[in-house]
Amino acid sequence: MKFIDEIDIKEKKVLFRFDFNVPLDSSLNITDDTRIRAALPSINYALDEKAAVIMISHLGRPKGKAVPEMSLAPVAKRLSRLLEKDVQFVSDCVGEEVRNKVASLKPGDLLLLENLRFHKEEEKNDESFASELAGFADVYIDDAFGNAHRTHASNVGICKFVPACGAGFLIKRELEYFGTAVEKPARPFIAIVGGSKVSGKLEVVANLIRKVDKIILGGGMAFTFLKALGYNVGNSVVEDDLIGRATEVIKAVKELGVKFYLPVDCVIAEKMDPAAQTRIVPVQEITSGWMGLDIGPATITLFNEALENAKTIIWNGPMGVFEMQPFSKGTAAMARSLADSPAVTIVGGGDTDVAIQQTAVHDKITYISTGGGASLELLEGKVLPGVAALEQCSQKA
């Protein structure tokens, strides 16, 4: 794969696929511009090369319809402020108006097109839609890591039609951190995996146990493993159809000699409610009819001790229902442990990123991924469709 600094973009029209899928409040104000800021290095490089910059992205899930609340117009305003340069905006991403606007661009101009997902053809990887997008530019640069695990027109289909293509600096950083961490880590290498359901993470765990020295499981997904070990977990989240697979993973861990950590105590309640009565109990004593919603203090101590000698730590998934204060202590403690660790610490986006921001330790983490789903698939050992398309395009060139 080629990267942006290996391609001649000087004074050319460059089409960038970014991930500007940022959260908006009810007044359509951006509440977290992390993903916008992550695009700035690539944009500034293109401006230094006197390129005309055309930007495309999605926001939310409008399902092929124009939804005003999911417009990228607020992103254009935020970009203008961050770049201290006018970012033009057009209220569609294909069509005659867009073609005319693109044709009028001069070196150094910036243009953001409207939400790709206002057209159903985007998520269907429609070839004619991809071809029209490709026709806007001399060079295509994908820097939307958060969308790299999708097979859409703007990141996969488009690569068949562009004259030249490559990846931006964000994708380069993401691949470097995850590639180095998983394939050539400084050891001991420890993975922390959490989240509510085991179904989304089980194959990640199965892949990681062959690479790590220790693996720590928390969150709701841990209860499927605890039940596989014979514990009564009350009304805790359990995916019964995956108990057999969890048992296989536990057996593999023993055979590989990997240290495997599960919660030893947990915070339980009768329902997932911040006002509910809570108790802290050993995992062997979860009350019938109650559910585990966070790891307990003994587990926090156990997990912290497991991390003490780490050289590389990857974390994906919270330790409990951290959005609710009574069940947030385990996740916050894990965030602080990573912040205090001298190890290389990599956080895999999504809810884990939110938890890091809430704990205000983001500046002490080595790398925070911008793509939850994409980072998970990398950890699972999968090839990302968006990355594969860029590799094929580069070979074609």
Catalytic site positions: 35, 197, 350, 373
CA distances from 164 to 28, 52, 360 (A): 36, 15, 41
Judging by DSSP bridges, how do beta strands 13-17 and 214-217 pair with one another? unpaired
What's 51's DSSP letter? Answer: P
Residues 6+ apart with CB under 8 A from 151: 125, 385
Contact in structure between 388 and 160 (CB atoms under 8 Å)? no
Q: How many Å apart are CA 155 and CA 247, to the nearest integer?
A: 38
Entry field: residues in the chain = 397
Closest CA to 155 of 4, 35, 36, 19: 19
Q: Which helix (H) or strand (E) holds 113?
A: strand 110-113
Burial class of residue 263 in the structure, from the number of CB atoms within 10 Å of its CB (0-12 exposed, 13-18 middle, 19+ buried)? buried
- Decide if 300 contacts 255 (C-beta within 8 A): no
